[in-house]
Amino acid sequence: MQDNPEESTLAQAQESQLWSQLSVVQREQVHEVSAEVWFLNPGIVSAHMMLNDLFRTLVPDGEQYVIHQVGELPLPVASRAH
């Protein structure tokens, strides 16, 4: 049994000849996510965890956003000056 299957899967992908040819790899835009959240546990809680991952990765200052409760939209924790 593997200690951490996610690390093993990533290592296998990185060893592939195709890995370095991927444009996201070349632009250093690869972001690790939890396989447990993204692939193995479908449901509303995982969906909100995915949204949190997306906000942290894609939204400037994404750490300032949180999902307050299931069913609510992400709201800024603190207002930002525009």
pLDDT tens, residue by residue, 9-27: 888 889 999 999 999 999 9
Number of structural domains (the chain) is 2
- Is the model's pTM score more than 0.85? no
Q: Indicate whether 37 pLDDT > 90.
A: no
Range of the domain at 49: 33-82
Q: Are residues 45 and 60 in the same domain?
A: yes
Cα separation, 6 vs 28, in Å, equals 19
Mark whether 46 and 67 lie in a shared domain: yes
Task: Check whether residue 53 and residue 81 sit in a common domain.
Answer: yes
17 with 38, same domain: the answer is: no
Stretch (H or E) spanning 25: helix 23-26
